[in-house]
Amino acid sequence: RNNPEKRSDPYAFYFVEGSLYNDLTLDKYEQENNYAYSEEQRAYYKQNPGAAHIDGQHTVFGEIIEGFEVIAKLTHVKTDGRDWPISDIYIERCEVID
């Protein structure tokens, strides 16, 4: 999909398995994305798994705390040339946990 304004799209979402980062990698992402990480962000990514490469570009709206076997199945779904699933996938249930 072409979405240069990065407008909200209820169908365009993905799951990210976080990683720990070092300064060299964070420097690289800053250059690639024209984005500057604060000292707090750098400290966080060095100690907590995250997805630094999409900071400032996407909004995180949830965390998976169970059901990882479902995510594992999703990684094996057949996709087209743009990495879009051949068949639609629907989230049937989710819940908000305070």
Please state, in angstroms and rounded to a whole number, the distance separating the CA atoms of residues 68 and 85.
19
Q: What is the pTM of this model?
A: 0.61
Confidence of residue 84 (pLDDT cuts 50, 70, 90): confident
Decide if 64 contacts 40 (C-beta within 8 A): no
Helical axes 39-47 vs 23-33, angle rounded to 10°: 130
Distance (Å, whole) CA 56 – CA 94: 25
For 17-63, write each residue's pLDDT tens digit.
789 999 999 999 999 988 899 999 999 999 999 888 888 777 777 78
At residue 69, the 3 state secondary structure works out as helix
Place of tokens 């990495």: 83
User: Could you report the per-residue pLDDT of 3-13, keeping only the tens digit for each?
Assistant: 677 677 776 77
